[in-house]
Chain A
Amino acid sequence: MTSLWQYAFVHNALLAGAITAIVAGCVAPFVTLRNMGFGVHGLAEVSFAGAAGAVLLRLPIELGVLGASFLAALGFGALGVRLRERDLAIGSVLAFSTGCGVLFLTLYHTYSTEAFSILFGSILAVGTDDVIRSAAVGAVALAALAVIGRPLRFASIDPEVADARGVPVRLLSTLFLLVLALAVTVTVQVIGVLLVLTLLIAPAGTAQRLTLHPVRVMLYSTLIALGATLGGIVCAVYTSLPVSFFVPTFSLGAYLVARWLGPVQRGMPGARATH
């Protein structure tokens, strides 16, 4: 059993997993703050079409994922100001692009294995160059988040006053969608298109059960994402069962434990931030 740790693919998987977890853990609190879970899912489904298109054209899958989710981010940013309208737009685009993805994969003949790895990730198959690419994309996402973080929070919580204070509210909305597109690109590789929400929302939801202090929410969210991802990879290596089973399982498990035992009670007026 232990001999498995000698293999480079395990090291690569853990490295890529750690990078993904840090990026997702930092981005996730902004996703919950802006109530953008559906948007994340939409970006992921669009990236499925991009990946499938890349397979068909014999381009790198990552390029397809990044290109498609960037285009979708710009599109969502241009379309949606009102939440309801944004959700309708995302819903339509999401379904259409999933259809496109299926079409592309049907046209390409090694359908099943490619589809499987796009939908559910291929973390145990990443090479050193994949790790480097993830690190680069993740670094760009985190750097961008560091630049837009404060005005983005202001615009998310109080868009009217932020607008009056000169915060570019619409531009920030689009910039954050682009950061999300980068995060989705990194995450898809680990966990697949269908399961990005398990790293891009769930850790923040769990963290917000433990504390409502903004800095701690980000810290806990990152630690939870790291725990779920690395724990999932280790279990998968030992059991030969899919990573995409273990990561969401740990992620959900952490949420349930936090929900039952966490000090923050949902929506209770008068409950104070905990430490």
Chain B
Amino acid sequence: MKSAGAGGRPAGGPALDGAIAAQSATLAFGARRLWEALTFTVPRGEFLVVLGPNGAGKTSLLRVLLGLQRLTSGSVLIDGRPPRRGDPRIGYVAQYRAIDPDLPVLGRDLVGFGLDGHRWGGGLRSRASAARIEEALDLVGARSYADTPVGRLSGGEQQRLRIAQALVSGPGLLLCDEPLQSLDLHYQRVVVEQIADWNRRRGATVIFVTHDINPVLPAVNRVLLLARRRWALGAVDEVLTAETLSRLYDAPVDVLRHEGRLLIVGADLGAHEHETVLDAGDHA
């Protein structure tokens, strides 16, 4: 595993390689076990999609990586160290949450929180900080509505601001929790493209939680599927097969391919229907 310290990024502080290693990681809340003996490594720069039904522990996995949730047993290391709450080298796009349209909070404020929201004080920003916020706004194309109250923006505009907020500190590891939720197809593409761009150009590791792999297929390297306390990790073609899914779900699951699309029958991946359409497009 590479150690931290590789430079070349605009972020302040030491760089984060963003390599993750889980060893027999198990998480349980009381008697309810979410996942057991999770063992994997994610090399630096990988785009990993985490799939699974509701309640499978996808968000909890992110919380473990953020240092907000302790494992029941086993270990998870980021660049060889246990996760630390408040690590500025980790960007986090939380699940969509509506913001009151009457709150006096501008788009620019929301992005700025990603840079210095954790620091005491309340005064003016330095010119350098303001410039970095502008840069992040440009990165997601949000400059035109940066001075609009956040609660009055559309879901897609808000989501782009949240991504800018996560990117403004120049993270080497980006954790995204259902960032496509409540977005239409156009914005789903835009958001995936922005995150994939950060992944490719900055070599940042991305952990992308979703229940619909369809929009992320062009960007994904590997898939981690969490279901019924079990897990499977591999390329899309290895994990999303009738064989693997049937083993995970303890039930016959069919994967039908039709004109480059995948239709999974009999397994719940967290979508609202029992059938999930997967687009097996041009993934590697």
Also in contact, A269 and B152, with CB within 8 A (given A146-B122, A164-B94, A166-B86) = yes
Are B92 and A164 touching (Cβ within 8 A)? yes
B66 on the A face (CB < 8 A):
yes
Q: Tell me, in angstroms, the Cα distance from A137 to B104 when the chains sit together.
A: 27
Which A residues are CB-close (under 8 A) to B97?
158, 160
Also in contact, A214 and B109, with CB within 8 A (given A149-B121, A151-B119, A273-B147) = yes
Q: What are 12 of the A-B contact pairs (CB < 8 Å)? A: A145-B122, A146-B123, A148-B120, A150-B121, A151-B120, A157-B103, A157-B113, A212-B102, A212-B106, A213-B147, A214-B104, A267-B101
Are A150 and B122 touching (Cβ within 8 A)? yes
Q: Tell me, in angstroms, the Cα distance from A161 to B152 when the chains sit together.
A: 20
Are A208 and B152 touching (Cβ within 8 A)? no
Q: How many residues of A contact B (CB 8 A)?
A: 36
Q: Tell me, in angstroms, the Cα distance from A264 to B148 when the chains sit together.
A: 12
Q: How many residues of B contact A (CB 8 A)?
A: 37
Which B residues are CB-close (under 8 A) to A273?
106, 147-149
Q: Tell me, in angstroms, the Cα distance from A214 to B90 when the chains sit together.
A: 28
In the complex, how many angstroms separate the beta carbon of A195 from the nearest chain B beta carbon? 24
Are A150 and B119 touching (Cβ within 8 A)? yes
Which A residues are CB-close (under 8 A) to B99?
157
Q: Tell me, in angstroms, the Cα distance from A160 to B68 when the chains sit together.
A: 10
**Contact flags (1/0) for B73-115 with A, using CB distance below 8 Å?**
0000000000001111010101101010111111001100110
In the complex, how many angstroms separate the beta carbon of A176 from the nearest chain B beta carbon? 12
In the complex, how many angstroms separate the beta carbon of A21 from the nearest chain B beta carbon? 20
Are B101 and A268 touching (Cβ within 8 A)? yes
Are A163 and B110 touching (Cβ within 8 A)? no
A4 on the B face (CB < 8 A):
no
B186 on the A face (CB < 8 A):
no
Are B86 and A165 touching (Cβ within 8 A)? yes
| Closest residue of B by beta carbon distance from A275 | B147
| Closest residue of B by beta carbon distance from A29 | B104
Which B residues are CB-close (under 8 A) to A149?
121-122
B210 on the A face (CB < 8 A):
no
Contact of A208 among B104, B119, B120, B147 (CB under 8 A): B104
B10 on the A face (CB < 8 A):
no
Contact of B104 among A150, A162, A217, A266 (CB under 8 A): A217
Give residues 150-176 of A contacting B (CB, 8 Å): 150-151, 153-154, 157-158, 160-167
Q: Tell me, in angstroms, the Cα distance from A149 to B124 when the chains sit together.
A: 12
B118 on the A face (CB < 8 A):
yes
Which B residues are CB-close (under 8 A) to A158?
94, 97, 110, 113
| Closest residue of B by beta carbon distance from A207 | B104
Also in contact, A160 and B94, with CB within 8 A (given A212-B104, A273-B106) = yes
Most B-side CB within 10 Å, residue of A148, A164, A213 = A164
Which A residues are CB-close (under 8 A) to B68?
163-164
Which B residues are CB-close (under 8 A) to A272?
147-149, 152
Contact of A147 among B105, B122, B154 (CB under 8 A): B122
Contact of A212 among B90, B95, B149, B165 (CB under 8 A): B149
Are B118 and A154 touching (Cβ within 8 A)? yes
| Closest residue of B by beta carbon distance from A149 | B122
Which A residues are CB-close (under 8 A) to B123?
146
Contact of B121 among A146, A213, A217, A266 (CB under 8 A): A146
Are A162 and B118 touching (Cβ within 8 A)? yes
